[in-house]
Amino acid sequence: DTAVSQTPKYLVTQMGNDKSIKCEQNLGHDTMYWYKQDSKKFLKIMFSYNNKELIINETVPNRFSPKSPDKAHLNLHINSLELGDSAVYFCASSQAGAGPYEQYFGPGTRLTVT
Amino acid sequence: AQSVTQPDIHITVSEGASLELRCNYSYGATPYLFWYVQSPGQGLQLLLKYFSGDTLVQGIKGFEAEFKRSQSSFNLRKPSVHWSDAAEYFCAVETKEYGNKLVFGAGTILRVKS
């Protein structure tokens, strides 16, 4: 059973398009995250949600909008894609509360904007 | 702000040799520390974590790490490297004060020569 899954695994699109990446976890966790890994492999958090509520919103362009329909899903919608959005996007989940807790990562979605 | 430094971008070791990957963090209180491994084209897998207690922690795949508060370090070690250990290794710190987000180092690429 896949703990944290993401679709699609690869996404190639043109500048200006709108795209979504889906994430699902079957671990029963309350907290989910989105991280971006750039071309230099640097990983940085973008958002976190706790039980469908936005907790962390780093300095991310408002073209990026996370959506959490329920606590097992956290989707990432990106409007007006730009070349600089090309990266690998990782979803993660963890338990909520005082912690600390380990974060479990999905396999990543490689987004290429041409 | 918290930060994580991995001084070595690349390390090459011979199969069977010992390994030490360095990690230093910058944070006033005791952070929660993690080492993740990323194989090419794969997601992140947790190797080990330090929350409190014994400063020498054991992880999966024969890895261990030692937390040294005086040096603000959390170096990863393995006594005998196998070819399958070739991957990129990320040190990360999590703090409650920063919303339980993970802050990652830039990563160290490990190459294993036979």
Q: Which of B44, B49, B51 sits opposite A90 (nearest CB)?
A: B44
User: Which amino acid appears at position A21 of this protein?
Assistant: I
pLDDT at residue number A52: 81
pLDDT at residue number A56: 81
Six-digit token string for A16: 């200006």
Question: Which residues pair with residue A36 across a beta bridge?
Answer: A44, A89
Q: Which of the residues in chain B have pLDDT under 50?
A: none
For residue range A6-63, what is the model confidence (pLDDT) as tens digits? 999 999 999 999 999 999 999 999 999 999 999 888 999 999 888 888 888 887 899 9
Six-digit token string for A108: 């990543």
B43:A108 CB<8 A: yes
pLDDT at residue number B98: 63
Choosing among B44, B96, B104, which should be mutated to test the A contact, i.e. which has the most A CBs within 10 A?
A: B44
| Cβ neighbours of A99 in B, within 8 Å | 32, 94, 96, 100
pLDDT at residue number A100: 80
Six-digit token string for B65: 């790490």
Give the HSE-up count for residue B85: Cα atoms under 13 Å, Cβ half-sphere: 29
pLDDT at residue number B99: 64
For residue range A62-114, what is the model confidence (pLDDT) as tens digits? 999 999 999 899 999 999 999 999 999 999 999 887 778 889 999 999 999 99
How many CB atoms are closer than 10 A to CB A2? 10
pLDDT at residue number B28: 66
CA A97 from chain centre, in angstroms, equals 21
